[in-house]
Amino acid sequence: MSCKTNLQITDLLALKPVRRKLSDNRSTIVPHNPLVDAFREQERATITDRSRAGYDSNTFYHFTSAIKAVAAFNGIFDLQRPFAKAYKAATDKERRREIKAWKKRVFSLSWVDQEIERLTPEFYRAIKSRASWLDTPSVTNEEWRITAMLCAFFITLLTLRYLGYRQECLRDCVVGKNIIFERDGSITLRWAEDETKNGKAIYLRLNKTDHGESHGLLIDALHAYYKHIHPYLNRIADKKSKGQFFLRPLRSKTSARHRSEASFAEQFELWCNHFLDLWSLDNPEKRKFHAHHLRGLCTDWLVYECGLTLDEVALFIGDSVAVLKGEYLDANRTQDGTPVLDKLNKSIMEKRDAAKSVELQASLAQVQSALDEKGRLIDAILQQLAFVRESLTKAEARNEVLEAELKLLRRGGASQDGM
């Protein structure tokens, strides 16, 4: 096959019919591009730890995605749509699931939490002793960078572990816009639809009072980093990085933002190798602990341990249920049905208690009504007694008058008898 020196995007998009044999010796006509097929065959013949032979590689997937993106950008939709239909990447999903399951077993949530527990006192020691290293000329560049890296890595690790956000949110997280430290002590995190990879807007407001049980460690660390470390790192950052919350310390006692996905991945790998105990793990193939892996661990934690539904987790993380279920949730995990039964019984008891409460309220209302009726009867009796008492008082008064008049009459009669 000759190689064209003036290759155009339409040369990669154009499809020609070709007859291909099927497994049952039949044949069919399929659309085909010889240039794309040549690259596809080369990639399918390559065996990696992530893909077996006969499957499309991630490189091929990104290659076809780039062709479709360029075509769409240039408005070549008459060629882009048939190309997209003809070249749907068939990646080795089974192998990917095996690797994901292996990573979740080796880089488990319990291991991550143990590492966080080990690094927490080191983080706060670095903050407490900041006067001795943060802006001290006598501290060497390397000593300064290691301590500053610890603070930057710890806050990054905590955010990914407890929020499950994509790394893009951390690469572009501007103080006052994407992360806001409110006067009441709460922390607002938000990204608009055009700031996230999947077009899902993210909004979350954390506060220690309501969310301290699940996210207290993260909330405290964010406040400590923002108050004691970030002001200095932001002051020494380059012009394009100023205002970014997640900064990476450099050897020259300066700092910079994570400029790309590759830059973030490389920096995170360096931090992990330096600060995490990776060497004690059963990892003969020396697979890397990626930041993206924490999104899956956070999903598992929220669903299996915190008891949230996938709909609730999708809202929290900023993704769709289908993506979380297909890409992140550990579907092979042995699930404990006890919490489901607990939830069911709790619901039954709540309904029963609610019914009892209604019955009790009705009974109380009847008792109250009877008491009110008796109260009215007592009031009527008391009124009658008061009337009788008043009548007796008046009668007694009249009797006293009559007795006085009778005495006068008796005296008058006695006087006349004496005469």
Instruction: Give all strands (DSSP E) within 196-252, no chain letters.
Output: 202-206, 248-249
pLDDT reading at 169 higher than 90: yes
Question: Which of the two residues, 76 and 419, has the higher pLDDT score?
Answer: 76
Comparing 60-74, 288-302, 314-328, 329-343, the range with the smallest average pLDDT is 329-343
Q: Please give the average per-residue pLDDT across 85-112, as a whole number.
A: 83
What mean pLDDT comes out for the span 169-187?
95
Give the CA distances from residue 365 to residues 310, 357, 373, 379, in Å, rounded to whole numbers and listed in that order: 43, 12, 12, 20
Residue 223 has pLDDT above 90, yes or no: yes
Place of tokens 């089974």: 94
Per the model's pLDDT, the better-predicted residue between 164 and 399 turns out to be 164
Residues in CB range of 271: below 8 A, 6 or more apart: 149, 152, 153, 156
Greater model confidence, 338 or 244: 244
Query: Which two three-digit tokens encode residue 182?
Result: 């409110």
Q: Which of 58, 59, 90, 75 is nearest to 13 (CA)?
A: 75
Instruction: Give the C-alpha separation, 146 to 37, whole Å.
Output: 48
The DSSP result for 326-372, as a single string, is: IIIS-TTS----HHHHHHHHHHHHHHHHHHHHHHHHHHHHHHHHHHH
What's the pLDDT tens digit per position in 36-84? Answer: 888 988 988 888 777 788 888 888 888 999 998 998 889 888 888 888 8
List phi, psi (to 5°) of 6. Answer: -110, 55
Per-residue model confidence (pLDDT) at position 25: 73
* CA–CA dist 62, 48 (Å, integer): 17
Give 3's strand partners: none
Q: In terms of pTM, does the model score above 0.75?
A: no
For the domain 96-335, what is the CATH code?
Answer: 1.10.443.10
Q: What is the pLDDT of residue 229?
A: 95
> What are the residue boundaries of the structural domains of the chain, listed by start?
9-91, 96-335, 359-419
- In tens, the pLDDT along 119-130 reads 999 999 999 998
CB-count burial class (<10 Å; 0-12, 13-18, 19+) for 191: buried
Q: What is the mean pLDDT of residues 398-404?
A: 84
Helices 208-224 and 109-128, interaxial angle, to 10°? 60
| Separation in Å, CA 166 to CA 84, 103, 147 | 27, 18, 25
Residue with tokens 């993704």: 319
**Could you give the CA distance from residue 267 to residue 232 in angstroms, rounded to a whole number?**
20
Whether the predicted pLDDT of 390 surpasses 50: yes
Amino acid at 79: L
How is residue 231 written in tokens?
């002001």
Q: What percent of the chain has pLDDT over 90?
A: 38
What is the band of 1 on the pLDDT scale with cuts at 50, 70, 90? very low
Are 214 and 306 in contact by the 8 Å Cβ rule? The answer is yes
